[in-house]
Amino acid sequence: MTDVELQLAVENLLARYVHALDDDRLEEWPDFFVEQGRYRITTAENFERKLPLAIIYADSRAMLRDRVSALRHANIYESQRYRHVVSSVLVERLEPELARASSNFQVVRIMHSGEATLFASGRYLDRIRIDGSGTRFEERIAVLDSRAVDTLLAIPI
């Protein structure tokens, strides 16, 4: 795989990921990760101070599926959707089938009332496995620029 092909493969993964979330196809979300994939949302403050606390933490697809089923069946929150905008994707090859990527994101949250706000901004720090079975996250860290979250963060970033 050439560098250009790698860049495109990573950008394609990042794009499919946010389309799935924004289209409310949450059930597809765990499949963007390898079986023992790690996912966490943290703040720039925690990240820079090397503090381990996360807002959401998972280290397997099973934990991600639990998050989806809790959102579908257990947790109560008002109807809302996100619109992710991802940009400035930097890709670095670490091994023939492993890449590191960092990208910027903004998330607009649109409530059922019509209220739309810039809900989150930050960067994704990813380790991505590219092999015969596809392109998936081994690790995805969403680092929020702000330490404050408005009301609640239900749908993943």
Partner 1 sequence: MSEVTQPRTWPREGLARVPYWVYQDSGVYEREQERIYRGAAWNFLGLEAELPNAGDFKTTFVGEMPVVVTRDERGTLNCFENRCAHRGALLCLADRGSAKEIACVYHNWTYDLRGNLTGVAFRRGIKGQGGMPEDAQPESQAPRKLRVTVFCGLVFATLSDETPPFERYVGAEVAARIRRVMKEPVRVLGGYSQVLPSNWKLYFENVKDTYHASLLHLFFSTFRLNRLEQKGGVIVGGEGGSHVSFTMMRTDSSGDEYEKAGMRSVSGGYRLEAPQMLESVDEYGDGITLQILTVFPGFVLQQIMNCLAVRQVLPKGPGRTELVWTAFGYASDDARMTERRIRQANLVGPSGYISLEDGAATGFVQRGVQGAAAHASVVEMGGRSVESSESRVTETSVRGLWQQYRAHMGL
Residues forming contacts to partner 1 in the complex (CB under 8 A) are 41-43, 45-46, 49, 51-58, 60, 62-63, 65-67, 69-70, 73-78, 147-154
Residue closer to partner 1, measured from CB, 113 or 133: 113
Cβ closer to partner 1: 94 or 149? 149
**37, 65 in Cβ contact below 8 A?**
no
What's the rounded Cα separation, in Å, for the pair 149 and 7?
32
At closest approach, how far in Å is the CB of 49 from partner 1?
Answer: 8
- Distance (Å, whole) CA 148 – CA 157: 15
Q: Taking the complex as a whole, how short is the minimal distance between the CB of residue 13 and partner 1, in angstroms?
A: 23
Cβ proximity to partner 1: between 43 and 135 the closer is 43
- 3 state DSSP class of 58: strand
Closest CA to 59 of 33, 21, 26: 33
